[in-house]
Structure 1
Amino acid sequence: MKLLKSIAFAAALIATPALAQTQLSIATGGTGGVYYPMGGGLAEIINKHVEGYNATAEVTGASVENMGLIATGDADLAIGLADTVQQAYSGTGRFDGQQLPMIRAIGSLYANMVQIVTLADSDVKSIEDIPGKRVSVGAPGSGTEVNTKTLLDANGISFDDFTVERLNFNETADALNNGDIDVGFWSVGAPTSSILNLATTNDIRMIPLTQAQIDAAVGQDSVMAPLALPAGVYNNVSEETPTIGVPNVLVVSSEMDEDAVYEITKAMYENIKELQAVHPAANETTVAFTMAATPVPLHPGAIRYFEEIGAEIPAKLRQ
């Protein structure tokens, strides 16, 4: 009798269907940047700590494309540069005439640094030397392309002044290695794998910005801020490199379920060490950074979590 009961119990367990999980797509960037590992780390946190959801990080063209994926519902969460996110929300810049008012933030993750790389024997010493050269400005639809254009336009340099290549991070590193381009732009957290790999096979030089060049860029886009790439981050880069940076924002649609966003926000901030173990850029992922750096309103689910922990939320993030 006990055997029959055990068999019946086991059969019932087998017959009981597993609880269905809601699939979430996280739009990131290329595999040679920081978005993809950060998105993968966030997916793991969701899978471990948010019941009923299964998340996957997706390779994309990064910031501009990611905002479109949120708008169409082809991604549930996305990472984007703050200036791109702001442009999408307000219908300006790259999004002129195609405003995406459904964009909402969960929080700001870390700051990208504009990293301008050439080989050590190059005659390009400043962005003033870029006209006439072959330059990768970032993948089409990426935040790197947006940041590069803002920086150069602010300093009187047009994309018409040089040969433009629109390559992702790994392609840019390969093109520098092969001599197919003279300069590559990255807007990414430091260090990033594609530059690290390039610097192991080549002597590289980081092109610094002058204070006047930084001031011009910040004057054109207030989301940008002066930053410095520390010495020693990459092989043979022995001096600090003055540059500019832009925060990265984790966004969702305003239509996403409030309870789901609350649980995701709570899981990310309360298990942030797991994300920091994936990439050191997550050391910047704090509630304070979110309140200071986020350019668009927070999702109500995120607001609920921040209120729960007693965070002071600026009025502009409650709209």
Structure 2
Amino acid sequence: MFSKKSLLTISMLLALSLILFACGGGTSDGGGDDGEEGGGADEQFIQILTGGTEGTYYPLGGTFAQVINDNVESVEEASATSTGASVENMNSISDGDGEIAFTQTDIASYAAEGDVMFDEANEDFGAIGTLYPETIQIVTTQDSGIETVEDLEGKTVSVGAPGSGTYANADNILEIHGLSIDDDIEARDLDFGDSTTGIQDGTIDAAFITSGTPTGAVESLAASVDVNIVSVSEEKAQELMDEYSYYAEDEVPEGTYGLEEAVPTVAVQAMLVAHSDLSEDLVYEITKAIFDNTDAISHAKGSEIDAESALDGVGVDLHPGAQKYFDEEGISEE
């Protein structure tokens, strides 16, 4: 017979063994955090912050996500998220609400410096590389009678949300032409889809749209009305570039939106940035996946994305992982 003391000891030992097993002291053949079935501890989910569904960032971000999923083993899943685009994306990166983001080069510079629409300098990101020109398109209809930027005076014009990249571009271009958002136009703060819908139904006269061409929202407009893109003259483009170094001359090509000839304008660059907390190795693999597999980018802009030009106009520090990739490729900023 066991004494009461012995029974108490055995009970205590059994209880202790159960506690140790529950805390992981036991062994198991099942997949855990480090097992193949449970996914490696280093595997990450990557959220790519893009823009509105009617623009270029969102569909292009979807193709980038697929390229990353197909080529970067340490990424559990990459996905594209629709957002308010450049300014919102830079704020979200600063807040830790995304891993990779699309942005305009001018907006990234403002964010890094804590200038214009940013109250504080953002040190939480590094560039992956530039992608393609973000063309500033001043969209109206051929029946509007608007032929020049000066013709916008007194008109109802969509300039994008206050603090957005499009708003900053509209402000810069109007200023160069002697006009003001506050004093000389009836400004509307609309996204691309609402802007082109407003032009179509006559509630606005024109819209500033900063996006890679062709832009889906403008293509949809061109399917129902004859579109006119207001030009920015070479002289005014030079004034703008002298004042703001991140602008470059550009054009909307002949045939785009049914245009009979190319329209001169200006552009900034679209680029990708990564949160600084992402490891050098991971960003290296992501950068390599994108720029080594541009033939797999199922979007019209894929033909413009090239490692050789990816450092043109970056204007902010590269993420160390991206720097490693471009160093290996022998590519440097001019």
* Match of residue 124 from structure 1: 146
Following superposition, the deviation at residue 210 of structure 1 comes to: 1.7
2 CA distance for matches of 1:312 and 1:131? Answer: 43
Following superposition, the deviation at residue 128 of structure 1 comes to: 0.3
* Match of residue 326 from structure 2: 306
Match 2:160 to one of 138, 141, 148 = 138
Aligned partners of 2:284 and 2:325 also within 8 Å? yes
* Match of residue 274 from structure 2: 252
Aligned partners of 2:159 and 2:167 also within 8 Å? yes
**Partner amino acid for 2:318?**
L
CA RMSD of aligned residues (A): 1.9
256-265 or 134-143: bigger deviation: 134-143
* Match of residue 25 from structure 1: 47
In 2 relative to 1, CA 89–16 (structure 1 residues): closer, same or farther, beyond 3 Å? closer
Match 1:213 to one of 228, 236, 239 = 236
1 CA distance for matches of 2:235 and 2:328? Answer: 43
* Match of residue 5 from structure 1: none
Measured against aligned partners, the alpha-carbon deviations of 1:53-107 in whole angstroms (never above 9, x if no partner) come to 1111111111111100111110110011111111111122222x31112231011
1 CA distance for matches of 2:289 and 2:36? Answer: 29
**Partner amino acid for 2:178?**
G
Aligned partners of 1:135 and 1:183 also within 8 Å? yes
1 CA distance for matches of 2:333 and 2:253? Answer: 31
* Match of residue 82 from structure 2: 59
Match 1:226 to one of 249, 255, 259 = 249
1:172 aligns with 2:195: yes
In 2 relative to 1, CA 99–12 (structure 1 residues): closer, same or farther, beyond 3 Å? closer
Aligned partners of 2:74 and 2:282 also within 8 Å? no
Aligned partners of 2:127 and 2:319 also within 8 Å? yes
Measured against aligned partners, the alpha-carbon deviations of 1:123-156 in whole angstroms (never above 9, x if no partner) come to 2111101121110112444321221111112222
Measured against aligned partners, the alpha-carbon deviations of 1:274-314 in whole angstroms (never above 9, x if no partner) come to 11xx2222222212212222111111111111122222356
Match of 2:80, SS state, is strand
Larger Rg: 2
Match 1:294 to one of 306, 314, 333 = 314
**Partner amino acid for 2:248?**
A
Match of 2:154, SS state, is coil
Match 2:213 to one of 190, 194, 197 = 190
2 CA distance for matches of 1:141 and 1:48? Answer: 36
Aligned partners of 2:106 and 2:246 also within 8 Å? yes
* Match of residue 274 from structure 1: 296
* Match of residue 122 from structure 2: 100
How many pairs were matched up?
300
Match of 2:210, SS state, is strand
2 CA distance for matches of 1:232 and 1:25? Answer: 35
Following superposition, the deviation at residue 218 of structure 1 comes to: 1.4
Match of 2:83, SS state, is coil
In 2 relative to 1, CA 225–100 (structure 1 residues): closer, same or farther, beyond 3 Å? same
Aligned partners of 1:191 and 1:233 also within 8 Å? yes
Match of 2:289, SS state, is helix
2 CA distance for matches of 1:195 and 1:102? Answer: 34
Measured against aligned partners, the alpha-carbon deviations of 1:158-189 in whole angstroms (never above 9, x if no partner) come to 11111111111111111111111000111111
Moved segments of 4+, more than 6 Å: none
Aligned partners of 1:61 and 1:141 also within 8 Å? no
* Match of residue 285 from structure 2: 263
TM-score (norm 1): 0.89
In 2 relative to 1, CA 58–16 (structure 1 residues): closer, same or farther, beyond 3 Å? closer
Following superposition, the deviation at residue 31 of structure 1 comes to: 0.7
Aligned partners of 1:259 and 1:301 also within 8 Å? yes
TM-score (norm 2): 0.85
* Match of residue 4 from structure 1: none
Aligned partners of 1:115 and 1:206 also within 8 Å? yes
Structure 2 unaligned segments of length 5 or more: list them.
Answer: 1-28
**Partner amino acid for 2:94?**
A
Structure 1 unaligned segments of length 5 or more: list them.
Answer: 1-10, 315-319
**Partner amino acid for 1:240?**
A
* Match of residue 72 from structure 2: 50
